[in-house]
Amino acid sequence: MSTIAKALDLLDLFSDSQPQMGLSDAQRLTGRDKATVHRHLSALEEAGYLEQDAATRAYRLGPALTRLAGMRARTVPEVEMVRTVIDRLSRAAGELVHVSRLHGFDLVDVYHAEQHDHPVRVSFDAYGLPPLFATSSGKAYLAFSPGGVLDLALADPRTWLPGAKAPDKDALLAELKSIARRGYARNRDALRLGVSSVAIPVFDAAARASATCSIAYPTSRGGSAQETRLARLLMAHGRDITEAMGGTVPPDVQSIWTPSRERAVS
């Protein structure tokens, strides 16, 4: 394992539940030598990826991340395209909105936007990315992909939650089918207790599902009315999101997302 990877791993130790830690904490979490961890932390701090509280000597994520993330949002075409529409959606929903792209069967974050209005908000954790079958995003993706993709996904053990038993294919097929009919996928308290979500697929230029967009909200704040509201909002933005990423929504999906009104132009 390269020194670089080891150092960058340290940044992944930080999470919403543990936003700062001392040298000893980091040492325990990694199992590496204290001196090593210390030099890595120092190097990261030197470069601004961490900063150290002057009083407690604890480390926390540093300002360089803000700077670079801003640059990425401004300059990476894909992000720049999606950003506007996601920010708008997030504002309308008042919840955390997340766009992820599929790399193999991993969901990697493209952009996310959050509203700080609500006292209770959903925070997503940085600890690895959740397995495909544990997320509404994953199901939304599968529901709008050709059948073969599901088989491939089932064959890969990393797509289910560790410890869980292999998903039942028939039950899954039924669920995916209903998602495809409904136009969106949902999860209630599936991945983390208290967190629900709705998700839709994002299509590429060849009209294949290649990414997803989801809204996460605290279950406490959401009855089925809330789910319906957010899902409607999400589907109403579906076309904009796909097109912002340079893709095309297949006509049949589009007709689910905007049922009655013919091709409303914003």
Partner DNA sequence: AGACAAGGTTCAAATAATGAACCGATGGAC
Partner DNA sequence: GTCCATCGGTTCATTATTTGAACCTTGTCT
User: Where along the sequence are the contacts to DNA (CB under 7 A)?
Assistant: 1-4, 6, 22-25, 27, 32-36, 38-42, 52, 57-58
3-state helix, strand, coil in the chain (%, to 5): 50, 20, 35
Find which of a second copy, DNA, none residue 22 binds, CB within 5 to 8 Å per kind. Answer: DNA
Q: What is the CA 194 to chain-centroid distance, rounded?
A: 17
Please, are residues 248 and 93 in contact by the beta-carbon 8 Å criterion? no
Task: Find the shortest distance in angstroms from Cβ 100 to a second copy.
Answer: 9
Report, in Å, the least distance between residue 38 CB and DNA. 4
Residue 57: contacted member of a second copy, DNA, none (CB under 5 to 8 Å, by partner type): DNA
Nearer residue to DNA within complex by CB, 28 or 91 = 28
Closest CA to 137 of 115, 159, 162, 166: 159
CB of 237 to a second copy, least distance (A): 12
Question: Is the Cβ–Cβ distance between 136 and 199 less than 8 Å?
Answer: yes
- Locate 59 and state its tokens: 């480390």
Cβ nearer to a second copy, comparing 39 with 177: 39
Q: Which does 33 bind (CB under 5 to 8 A by kind): DNA, a second copy, none?
A: DNA
Neighbours of 244 (CB within 10 A): 20
Q: Which of 140, 177, 170 is nearest to 154 (CA)?
A: 170
The least distance separating a second copy from the CB of residue 151, rounded to whole angstroms, comes to 25
Residue closer to DNA by CB (options 40, 98) is 40
8-state DSSP, 221: G
Label residue 217 exposed, middle or buried (CB < 10 Å: 0-12, 13-18, 19+): buried
Q: If contact means CB under 5 to 8 A according to the sort of partner, which of DNA, a second copy, none does residue 41 touch?
A: DNA
CB of 88 to DNA, least distance (A): 18
Q: Which is nearer to a second copy, 123 or 228 (CB)?
A: 123
